[in-house]
A and B are shown apart, each in its own frame.
Chain A
Amino acid sequence: MGNEFFIYLAVMTLSTYLVRTIPFVAFSRKIKSRFIRSLLTYVPYAVLSAMTVPAIFFSTDSLISATAGFVTALILSLCGRSLITVAFFSCLSVFVIGLFC
């Protein structure tokens, strides 16, 4: 792949870039609407939870090890552990359970 690669790359990069940047630039003023501001307050948590469930359960070889990772992350988060601790032990439990199942 020679020139074609660069065209693909340009098309791909530009569409990704515009999707991200246009709204970022367009909404540079503070939105006044209380409804919209309330909505945007909840968006981060809504987005993250929708991305995580159910996808996490199918992210490893088996449902069992994925569930172990999920439950570990849940418990450690409830105990208020930091992002990296939660991520690390979540991976570790998938690894350990994966050895047996």
Chain B
Amino acid sequence: MNSLRKGMIDGLPIGLGYLAVSFSFGIMGTNAGLAIWQTVLISMTNLTSAGQFAGLNIMAAAGSYVEMIVSQLVINSRYSLMSVSLSQSVDKSFSTKIRILFGQFVTDEIYAVASSRGEEIGRRYFFGLCSLPYIGWSLGTLLGAVSGDILPASISTALNVALYGMFIAIVIPPMKKALSVTVVVIISVALSIFLYFQPFFEISSGISVIICAIVSSVVGAIFFPIKDEASDENGEAPGYNNETSALKDEASDDNGGAPAKDTSVSKLNDKEVHHG
């Protein structure tokens, strides 16, 4: 299949989820006293969820620019981690110019879907993947800003879990395939719960995500290192694909073939024997 089209198909559920989430941002924007076009413009330029909600509050309260910068950096700092991760999975079609153009499209969901593919990410695929989420995010904001609270609360509440549901659908399949992913996820979740409920210090959700991700991934990297094949390549690095595909090829194939699972698991076992 055409990679642009493949990307668009993978982006469709994200776009639909965004339509729902940005709807509430649209409502909030006009409630905060912004014009419809201003609210939509924020969505079209920023493409973040938590960051935009925080930014909107600062605008409405006429906060300082420093406050704006700090809040955006703190809330959105997790994107840096995702960008580093994504930078290693894109193919050669991602020149510096393309990276500068596409940088703003690194959202939680686009990153999640792109990086859970088994293969290197091409420019055309990525463009396709970003297109519907971008439209969904902008359009949903517009609809929310124009129509206000027309959705019954029971429906808009239900839509809140859409993106979380998607995250779960991305994380569970590789957990079934590889013990290493299961361990990493359990550590990450446990730490996340701890940070959420601990009474000792205030912590933003953005920072919390970074702490959880780094701690659990470090544990994963120490105890379950991936196979080392690419270190002597001249930049082509097919090894990166091969080894990660053991963990990453779950996203698109639904009830994935049993043989694939067996090989990925044995691959991981091999690793432990060799290097453990």
In the docked arrangement, what's the CA distance between A38 and B17, Å? Answer: 30
79-95 of chain B: CB within 8 A of chain A: 79-88, 94
B82 and chain A: residue at smallest CB distance: A47
A residues engaging B (CB < 8 A)? 1, 4-5, 7-9, 11-13, 15-17, 19-32, 34-56, 59-61, 65-66, 69-70, 72-74, 76-92, 94-95, 98-99
Partner of B161, one of A35, A51, A66: A66
Residue in B38, B104, B169 whose beta carbon sits within 8 Å of that of A86 in the complex: B169
Asked if B179 is at the interface of the complex by the 8 Å CB criterion, the answer is no
B84 and A94 contacting across the interface, CB-CB below 8 Å: no
Closest residue to A21 on the B side, CB-wise? B103
Q: Contact: B209 with A50, CB < 8 Å?
A: yes
Question: Contact flags (1/0) for B132-168 with A, using CB distance below 8 Å?
Answer: 0000000000000000000001110111111111111
Inter-chain CA distance A34–B226, complex, in Å, is 7
16 contacts between A and B (CB under 8 A): A13-B46, A23-B84, A27-B88, A44-B115, A46-B188, A46-B214, A46-B216, A47-B82, A50-B208, A59-B161, A59-B164, A60-B157, A69-B164, A74-B168, A90-B164, A92-B158
Q: With A42-B184, A46-B216, A66-B161 as given contacts, are A17 and B103 in contact (CB-CB < 8 Å)?
A: yes
Q: Is the CB of B68 within 8 A of A15?
A: yes
Contacts of A82 in B (CB 8 A): 13, 169, 254
Q: Which residues of chain B are near A39, meaning CB under 8 Å? A: 214, 217-218, 220-221
Give B contacts to A, CB under 8 Å.
12-13, 16-17, 33-34, 38, 41-42, 45-48, 51, 55, 58-59, 62, 65, 68-69, 72-73, 76-88, 94, 96, 99-100, 102-104, 106, 108, 111-113, 115-116, 153-155, 157-176, 180-181, 184-185, 187-189, 191-193, 196-197, 205, 208-209, 212-214, 216-218, 220-222, 224-226, 228, 230-231, 233, 235, 237, 240, 243-244, 247-248, 251, 254-256
Q: Cβ of B59 and Cβ of A1 under 8 Å apart? A: yes
**Cβ B108 vs Cβ A19 within 8 A:** no
Is the CB–CB distance between B87 and A28 below 8 Å?
yes
- A21 proximity list for chain B (CB < 8 A): 83, 99-100, 103-104
A56 cross-chain contacts in B, Cβ below 8 A: 161, 164
B165: A residues at CB distance < 8 A: 69, 72-73, 86-91
**Contacts A91-B161, A98-B157 given; does A15 touch B73 at CB 8 Å:** yes
Instruction: Tell me if A43 and B213 are in contact (CB < 8 A).
Output: yes
Q: Is the CB of B231 within 8 A of A73?
A: no
CA distance A89 to B231 in the complex (A): 43
User: B180 — nearest CB in chain A belongs to which residue?
Assistant: A42
A9 touches B80 (CB 8 A): no
Q: How far is the CB of B116 from chain A (nearest CB, A)?
A: 6
A12 CA to B187 CA, complexed, in Å: 33
In whole angstroms, how far apart are the Cα atoms of A5 and B60 in the complex?
A: 10
Q: Which 5 A-B pairs have the closest CB atoms?
A: A21-B103, A90-B165, A77-B172, A50-B212, A38-B221
Chain B hits for A52, CB < 8 A: 164, 167-168, 171, 189
How many Å lie between the Cα of A76 and that of B180 in the bound state? 22
Q: Is the CB of A54 within 8 A of B166?
A: no
